[in-house]
Structure 1
Amino acid sequence: MRLTGRHVIFSLVLFVSGFLVAFSYQQTNQDPQVYQLTDKQLEKDFYYRQQLINIEKENQSIREDIEEKKSEIQKMENQLANQEQTVSDYVQDKKTLQKLTGELPVKGIGVEIQLKDADYIPSEENVNQYIVHDSHIHKVVNELLSAGANAIAINGQRLYRDSYIACVGPVVSVDGVQHPAPFVITAIGNPDVLMPSLTLKGGVVDQLLSDNVEVTTQKKDIINMDARLTGER
Structure 2
Amino acid sequence: MKNKTTQLTLSFVSLLLGVLIAVQLRSAADVYNAVPDLRVTEMRAVLMETITQNQLLTRELEEARDKLRQFEEMAMRGEGALELIEAELNNARMLAGLVDVSGPGLTVILTDSQAPAMPGDNPNVYIVHDEDLLKLVNVLAAAGAEAISINDQRLLATSEIHCAGPTISINNIRVGAPFVIKAIGNPETMESALRMRDGIVDTLNFYGIGVQVKREANLVIPAYKRPLRFDYARPEGGGK
TM-score normalised per structure 1: 0.60
Distance 1:132 1:82 in 2: 59
- SS of 1:186's partner is strand
Q: Is the 8 A contact 2:150 2:179 kept in 1?
A: yes
Distance 1:202 1:82 in 2: 59
Instruction: Note closer, same or farther for the CA distance 1:181–1:193 as it changes in structure 2 (3 Å cut).
Output: same
| Counterpart in the other structure of 1:115 | 110
| Counterpart in the other structure of 1:98 | 93
Structure 2 counterparts to residues 27-38 of structure 1, below 5 A: none
What letter is aligned with 1:227? A
Uncovered stretches (5+) of structure 1, i.e. residues with no partner: 1-77
- SS of 1:98's partner is helix
Instruction: Note closer, same or farther for the CA distance 1:200–1:224 as it changes in structure 2 (3 Å cut).
Output: same
What letter is aligned with 2:148? I
Q: Is the 8 A contact 1:129 1:212 kept in 2?
A: no
1:132-177 residue CA offsets vs partner (Å, 9 max, x unmatched): 0000000110111111111111111211121000011221111221
Distance 1:128 1:82 in 2: 66
Higher alpha-carbon Rg: 1
Q: How large is the RMSD of aligned CA atoms in angstroms? A: 2.4
Q: Is the 8 A contact 1:110 1:220 kept in 2?
A: yes
Displacement of 1:212 after TM fit? Answer: 3.1
Instruction: Note closer, same or farther for the CA distance 1:91–1:123 as it changes in structure 2 (3 Å cut).
Output: same
1:17-40 residue CA offsets vs partner (Å, 9 max, x unmatched): xxxxxxxxxxxxxxxxxxxxxxxx
1:79-114 residue CA offsets vs partner (Å, 9 max, x unmatched): 338996776555434322311211121111110111
- Taking only the aligned residue pairs, the percentage that are identical comes to 35
Uncovered stretches (5+) of structure 2, i.e. residues with no partner: 1-71, 230-240
Instruction: Note closer, same or farther for the CA distance 1:133–1:97 as it changes in structure 2 (3 Å cut).
Output: same
| Counterpart in the other structure of 1:75 | none
| Counterpart in the other structure of 1:205 | 201
Alignment length, in residue pairs?
156
TM-score normalised per structure 2: 0.58
Instruction: Note closer, same or farther for the CA distance 1:79–1:162 as it changes in structure 2 (3 Å cut).
Output: same
1:60-90 residue CA offsets vs partner (Å, 9 max, x unmatched): xxxxxxxxxxxxxxxxxx9338996776555
| Counterpart in the other structure of 2:30 | none
Query: Does residue 80 of structure 1 match 2:80?
Result: no
Displacement of 1:232 after TM fit? Answer: 6.1
